[in-house]
Chains A and B, each alone.
Chain A
Amino acid sequence: MRIPCPYCGLRSHEEFVYYGDATLQRPDASAPDANDSFFDYVYLRDNPAGPHRELWFHAGGCHDWLIVSRDTRTHEISGAEPARSAAAGDGR
């Protein structure tokens, strides 16, 4: 697998550290249902067979966090964007 890093170009995935599902949102710790929502956040996963948005850290490169779109059935990567701008896009 090669990841198209927006800063470094197409790089082998061994330069990156995988951090999993990028769609998880850290819950509000002061909300009344924080216990349940943190259990969901820490432990439960959709674990889809198909398109997956996931966090990769470019440890052997630019040290930026990326959100990579990848198909878990084929390992085909359709894109990568800086996690910072992706987070700005969905309101985080």
Chain B
Amino acid sequence: MPTRYSIFSLLRESFGRHRGWEPAWRDAAPKPNYDVIIVGGGGHGLATAYYLAKNHGIRNVAVVEKGYIGSGNVGRNTTIVRSNYLMPGNVPFYEWSLKLWEGLEQDINYNAMVSQRGVLNLFHSDSQRDAFVRRGNSMRLHGVDGEILGVEEIRKLLPMADFDNARFPIRGGLLQRRGGTVRHDAVAWGFARAASQLGVDVIQNCEVTGIKRENGAVVGVETTRGFIGSRRVGLACAGNTSRVAALAGLRLPIESHVLQAFVSEGLKPIVPCVVTFGAGHFYISQSDKGGLVFGGSIDMYNSYAQRGNLPTVEEVCEEGVALMPCLGRLRLLRSWGGIMDMSMDGSPIIDRTPVDGLYLNAGWCYGGFKATPASGWCFAHLLATDQPHEVGTAYRLDRFATGRLIDERGGGARPNVH
């Protein structure tokens, strides 16, 4: 019986000098057959496996991961969770995700450091105020919390910001108090552990090299660890979605782009919530260790390299300094890149594909982390019932052909501008 994490298990192990802890999940070897195979052991794939087992009783499930758990985007993001969306297809989905975050640690018995410290979107002009007031109204109409703060309230929250910048004065902000941050790699480990305890096989270092079909229907996947049979295969491969889907002859409305993120040396508390800079594209929060975690836009060109180029580093840091001039004295500890599956309207896809038995969870752009629990919940529902979950009905693969796009930014079919 696996250990249930609690104050009592911690005390018990403390007396044994912490030598009794078991690995959090089984490092499984592939079996010949499964009811469902999830390709991709990131947050979304592991969450899908967990909810398949928990909500639908489907426990004969494999999650196959080409690297190790936590090596992909689930360990490469800026850990922000929020549901401050505008479009009808998005708001219910992301709000469901935030509700799942709120109960996640108790549900999976894992400390994921869910911290609802708030997400504050600053605005810098009258027209931007109108846009954010509209967004806040849309959120409240959907039952999501959101409030407009004036400059004086923001001064109390964020005294180090440059309020009177000649070009980008801060005029106010839209605050979602229930938004915040979650420790990202704990999400991967927590879902892996919870799924594994329910019988899911988490198979690492197992790259899918082929998708085998008979009479147009999926019968399994070829991997670097041999053939694994299953009549239901779900893809949750983030930046590598196009490559894996191509193994089944699919061509998708997705481009892969690199997004960089940064962490500074540790500081005393200076940024109390997640703050976004409305005059550019910049978001910042402070980790519990004190490091400032921040990022900006993608590098804008197709990439599978998991690293970016210096002009984007410069651009992101310039935006940070425009928001908080004191950041100019900071040293960066690390920067890294992740490969984003940029869809053509900036919104995700959770749907069947034209290949029988092959299901797709993709197109998360650079907003996938906050969606992790709801993505898993909806993808598990789709894999188990062959029907979309009610909060994810808009995320159809055919919406690009039918014109039912969900374009939050109004950027058109240019994946690098979403």
A residues contacting B by CB (< 8 A) are 1, 12-14, 18, 20-21, 39-40, 42-49, 52, 54, 70, 72-75
Contacts and interface: CB of A to CB of B under 8 A. Distances in A.
A47 B302 contact: yes
A73 B400 contact: no
Given A12-B311, A13-B309, A39-B401, A54 B252 contact: no
A75 B255 contact: no
B344 interface: yes
A75 B303 contact: yes
Interface string B301-322: 1111100010100000000000
B253 A44 contact: yes
Contact of A72 (B251, B305, B400, B416): B305
Contacts of B416: 18, 20
A46 B401 contact: no
Given A13-B311, A43-B400, A73 B305 contact: yes
Nearest to A42: B413
Contact of B243 (A21, A44, A49, A75): A49
A20 B303 CA distance: 11
B255 A47 contact: yes
B344 A43 contact: yes
B309 A1 contact: yes
Contacts of B254: 45, 47
Interface of B: 240, 242-243, 246, 251-256, 300-305, 309, 311, 344, 400-401, 413-416
Contacts of B414: 20
A73 B306 CA distance: 8
Contact of B302 (A40, A44, A52): A52
B15 to A, nearest CB: 50
B300 A72 contact: no
Given A13-B309, A18-B416, 15 more contacts: A1-B309, A20-B255, A20-B416, A39-B401, A42-B400, A43-B344, A44-B253, A45-B242, A47-B254, A47-B255, A48-B242, A54-B302, A72-B256, A72-B303, A75-B305
A46 B242 contact: yes
A47 B252 contact: yes
30 contacts: A1-B309, A12-B311, A14-B311, A18-B300, A18-B301, A20-B414, A20-B415, A39-B401, A43-B253, A43-B344, A43-B400, A43-B401, A43-B413, A44-B251, A45-B242, A45-B255, A46-B242, A46-B246, A46-B251, A47-B252, A47-B254, A49-B243, A52-B302, A54-B302, A70-B301, A72-B256, A72-B303, A72-B304, A73-B305, A75-B303
A74 B301 CA distance: 12
A12 B246 CA distance: 33
A52 B243 CA distance: 14
Sort A-B residue pairs by CB-CB distance and give the 10 closest, nearest first: A47-B242, A14-B311, A43-B253, A49-B304, A43-B400, A18-B301, A44-B251, A43-B344, A72-B304, A73-B304
Nearest to A47: B242
B29 to A, nearest CB: 28
Given A20-B416, A46-B251, A54 B256 contact: no
Given A18-B301, A54-B301, A45 B309 contact: no
Contacts of A47: 242-243, 252, 254-256, 302
B298 to A, nearest CB: 10
Contacts of A1: 301, 309
A43 B304 CA distance: 20
Nearest to A46: B251
Nearest to A56: B301
Contacts of A21: 302
A18 B311 CA distance: 14
A21 B240 CA distance: 17
A39 B399 CA distance: 11
Contacts of B300: 18
Contacts of A40: 251
Contacts of B242: 45-48
A75 B255 CA distance: 15
B253 to A, nearest CB: 4
A49 B401 contact: no
Contact of A74 (B240, B302, B305, B311): B305
Contacts of A20: 255, 302, 414-416
